[in-house]
Amino acid sequence: MSVEVMLIILSGLVIFSYLFDLIAKQFKIPSVILLLLSGIGLRYLAVWLELPIPNFEPILPLVGTIGLILIVLEGALELKLEREKAGMIKQSLGSAFFILLATTTGIAFFYHYVTGANLRLCFLNAVPLGIISSAIAIPSAGVLPGHRKDFIIYESSLSDIFGVIMFNFMMANETIGINSFIRLGWQTILILVLSAVFCLMLLYLLKRITHHLKFFLIIAVLILVYAIGKHYHLPTLVIVLAFGLFLNNLHWIRLAWFKTNFKYDNFYKDFNQLNQLSGESAFIVRTFFFLIFGFTLNVPSLFNLSVLINGGIIVAIIYLVRIAYQKFFVPKAGVAEYFLSPRGLISILLFFSIPQAQKLTGIENSLLFFVILATSLNYDFRACFC
């Protein structure tokens, strides 16, 4: 295939993704679903034209990780911490943690019943489907009023972070005991200290760099820090969230030494440019991630009876846990929040990160796709109650 043809295809996909975003806002259909269906359609088109089918699975984790970092950064850059939101932030934190824990536990026991595998392996394989996907939830929350939108942004971002911590914890400990939790405790303290240090360092870079190209450098540093932390099983996604919150809430820091060393006249101009760049970069990465994932799917396997039954039970667990928790502990939540619990990018990323030796037999890509599809296609229903 010539370079010109490749350029036509790639640019065409980006244009169609932009149109999908417009369609999604107009008809309340998640653009992610349109991208996945487009990826499936491209696969069938390639087969029909008898073109060679490349193996994209090895690059999915790379593209998805970059997308996750950019999406969490984009969401954090939009969040303002205000005193009147303190209760909402606590509620979103509790909702993210307890719903994740309860949902993962429910799915793990279901896996144990179906496969007979030990509970640790079942729990490890259940974590990806226990996490709310901020990649889908944050754009979907755009139809909600301001305070409810903020709740979903906090909840889904924190669900991503807690999910990654839980997944890394299960991966790093073949047996779970008191030493495992002690290690988790010092790692959490370490990551909070590192978050503070890197927030100051990156803000100092923003102030001191006079070159007109500096925002991709900041994003590259964030990706570098995330990758180093992930190598050592540290939840460095916290740093990404903290950096976005830090930049958007500098007005709370009134210390003289901070203003002298870190604040500068063009800060808000730089902040707006970084916000725009992270949003547009996330759009591009998200586009190709979900197209590639759709392209790699084995569609006929979706219609296996076991996939339909098991997927249906997992979706039921997801919504029963969420509705029960929010009914009792988030009294201001509406019906829209009850059903806004999509699975997506983070679920795919963690699913592909499970070593082959620790994957459960019968838990395949098709089951993952079924759950993603089922938890995203209720978008029309949610929107009716916004």
What pLDDT does residue 381 have? 46
Question: What is the rounded CA–CA span in Å between residue 352 and residue 360?
Answer: 12
Nearest Cα neighbor of 340 from 159, 130, 138, 154 is 138
Q: State the DSSP string of 361-375.
A: TT--HHHHHHHHHHH
- Is 158 a residue whose pLDDT tops 80? yes
CA atoms within 13 A on the CB side of 337: 27
**Predicted pLDDT at 112:** 92
Q: Would you say 128 and 167 are in contact if contact means Cβ atoms under 8 Å apart?
A: yes
Instruction: Report which of 351, 310, 346, 371 is spatially closest to residue 126, judged by C-alpha positions.
Output: 351
DSSP for residue 354: S
Q: State whether the Cα torsion 228-230-235-241 is positive or negative.
A: positive
What percentage of the chain carries pLDDT values higher than 90?
10
The mean pLDDT of the chain is: 81
Confidence of residue 315 (pLDDT cuts 50, 70, 90): very high
Q: Per-residue pLDDT for 260 more than 50? A: yes
The pTM (predicted TM-score) of the whole model is: 0.80
pLDDT bracket for residue 1 (50, 70, 90): low
pLDDT for 63-109, tens place per residue?
888 887 887 788 778 777 777 777 888 888 898 999 999 999 999 99
pLDDT at 29: 66
Residue 63: φ, ψ to 5°: -65, -40
Nearest partner of 321 among 131, 130, 99, 110, judged by Cα: 99
Kindly give the residue spans of alpha helices, DSSP state H, lying in 30-145.
31-48, 60-76, 86-115, 119-130, 134-140
* Domains in the chain: boundaries: 3-383
The confidence band for 359, taking pLDDT boundaries of 50, 70 and 90, is confident
Q: What is the pLDDT, as a whole number, of residue 338?
A: 78
Provide mean pLDDT across the span 318-343: 83
Q: What's the topology of domain 3-383?
A: Na+/H+ antiporter like fold (1.20.1530)
C-alpha 109 chain-centroid distance:
24
- For the chain, helix, strand, coil in percent to 5 are 80, 0, 20
pLDDT for 28 equals 63
Instruction: Tell me what pLDDT residue 321 has.
Output: 93
pLDDT at 147 over 80: no
